[in-house]
């Protein structure tokens, strides 16, 4: 069987995933909705009164929610803060377990699981982790306190590496014969990381105006 070059393989992969690429702006909004809903649900289950919810960028964040516990309540503000990341960690774990199935999945299902159930979920976790490690703010700051700087940034970089390595195995098992080679996967990881970083910078600049 003739082996495809990395460029040709990546080109085929992008063409096969054109629909995912086209709807990515919408899914970005849906992740924000799910993120804020996780905060809201956990706060509400603990008896809090929700005072404000927004899924539009403002005040240096992509969305926000505010709530108050009644006086004397034993509700956990820390649990409210980490709720979205528990949700995303659960999504990633489910996709990992589903990838262990020997027979594989159809392309639409495999691609959706990998891109939105695994990579997309990690994206939200990573954004929050980087916001905390680099600027000491966000949901993680409420739970972990201020960041120690370089050490926490190094830990986040290590977490990125672990997810990238695990992600290769997940996509290989989900896609089966349609999985990316290591070279093509690495290329897309580097390209995606660059675009993700560029988008983060552009968003930060837009919010500062």
17, 35 Cβ separation under 8 angstroms: no
Phi, psi (rounded to 5 degrees) for 155? -65, -40
What's the pTM?
0.86
State percent of the chain over pLDDT 90.
53
Q: Tokens 């997810």 correspond to what residue? A: 163
**Residue 129 predicted with pLDDT over 70:** yes
81, 151 Cβ separation under 8 angstroms: no
Digit-coded pLDDT (tens) for 70-104 = 887 888 999 999 999 999 999 999 999 999 998 88
Number of Cβ within 10 Å of residue 73's Cβ equals 11
* CA atoms lying within 13 Å on the CB side of residue 9: 17
Phi, psi (rounded to 5 degrees) for 58? -170, 150
CA-CA distance, 48 to 66, in Å (whole number)?
A: 10
Digit-coded pLDDT (tens) for 17-57 = 999 999 988 888 899 999 999 999 999 999 899 999 988 77
If DSSP states are collapsed to H, E and C, what string results for the chain? CCCCCHHHHHHHHHHHCHHHHHCHHHHHHHHHHHHHHHHHHHHHHCCCEEEEEECCCECCECCEEEEECCCCCCCCHHHHHHHHHHHHHHHHHHHHHHCCCCCCCCHHHHHHHHHHHHHHHHHHHHHHHHHHHHHCCCHHHHHHCCCCCHHHHHHHHHHHHHHHHHHHHHHHHHHHHHCCCHHHHHHHHHHHHHHHHHHHHHHHHHHHC
63, 35 Cβ separation under 8 angstroms: yes
For residue 114 the two structure tokens come to 């990998």
């Amino acid at each position: 069987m003739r082996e495809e070059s990395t460029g040709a393989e990546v080109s085929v992969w992008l063409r096969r995933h054109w629909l995912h690429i086209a709807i990515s702006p919408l899914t970005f909004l849906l992740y924000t909705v799910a993120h804020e809903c996780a905060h809201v649900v956990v706060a509400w289950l603990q008896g809090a009164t929700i005072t404000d919810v927004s899924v539009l960028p403002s005040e240096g964040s992509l969305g926000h929610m505010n709530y108050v516990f009644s006086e004397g309540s034993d509700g956990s503000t820390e649990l409210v803060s980490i709720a979205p990341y528990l949700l995303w960690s659960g999504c990633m774990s489910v996709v990992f377990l589903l990838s262990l199935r020997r027979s594989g999945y159809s392309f639409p299902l495999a691609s959706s699981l990998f891109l939105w159930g695994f990579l997309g979920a990690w994206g939200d976790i990573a954004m929050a982790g980087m916001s905390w490690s680099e600027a000491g703010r966000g949901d993680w700051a409420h739970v972990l306190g201020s960041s120690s700087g370089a050490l926490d940034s190094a830990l986040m970089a290590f977490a990125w590496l672990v997810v990238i390595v695990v992600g290769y195995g997940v996509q290989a098992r989900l896609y089966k014969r349609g999985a990316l080679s290591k070279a093509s996967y690495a290329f897309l990881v580097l390209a995606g990381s660059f675009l993700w970083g560029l988008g983060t910078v552009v968003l930060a600049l837009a919010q500062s105006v």
